[in-house]
Chain A
């Protein structure tokens, strides 16, 4: 397939016409097609116009709103991840205590709760986790510097 352009193609596409160019177009299939298509495309473009476009101020406002929303969503991601981690840690600790004390599931829950309330290291872990979550939330949700 011959896909190379003709040297006159750019002029034909711009809609330029003079005697020499007309003579060339009549003998060059490539330029004839380019001329026909470009005239048709220009006609199509003229027929394509929007009704009412939004005001630029409205788009600026929407863009700021969307940025704020995505920044908040991004900032909340680590907080959510830490919450999930805290819950998983809680479950894992409960399961570990239940397994350690050799209890079945029902009493194990009661036992776990008892152990948790009595267990100083786990309490420390919980408080530390909570503090970390608060610190992360405060860091990521702070107002950006202007």
Chain B
């Protein structure tokens, strides 16, 4: 892959991708590792069409898989309850602790759905591709995730 093309893609995607990884994994430290591993995988097996429009969802897909792998590994090592605690603690964010806690209270898939839809602005088809779900499921799951977040926000008031 040409260095110039990669640098352009990196400039455009690194910050939002880090934010996604950090919020989905619930850890800023994990996001640093996930970001690096995502780009290494991207460089070693790039998408067929190498432009920003094609690269961005591809990068999110890799990052999502890495977050899932991390959760699976943690589940094996420390058990599901402790993972929930770790995610809820969400270390490394500093400010906006209340927002962090509300978001961390959702399931990891719900966090991914909400982030991709409401922050990145992806449509159902694109989200389905990134999260390896079917389009109809995305609509239903996103609706439920939004409802859960809205309820959590109501309860925080």
Contact = CB atoms under 8 A, between A and B. Distances in A.
Contact of B36 (A34, A38, A51, A59): A59
A49 B15 contact: yes
Contacts of A49: 15, 19
Q: Please classify how large the interface on chain A is, using the bins under 10, 10 to 19, 20 to 34, 35 or more.
A: 20 to 34
Interface string A10-43: 0001100000000000000000011011101111
Interface of B: 3, 6-7, 10-11, 14-15, 18-19, 22-23, 28, 31-32, 35-36, 39-40, 43-44, 93, 95-96, 99-100, 103, 114-115, 117-119, 121, 139-140, 143-144, 146-147, 149-150, 153
Nearest to A64: B43
Interface of A is mostly: helix
Contacts of A74: none
Contacts of B143: 1, 3
A40 B35 contact: no
A93 B32 CA distance: 54
Nearest to A46: B96
A59 B9 CA distance: 13
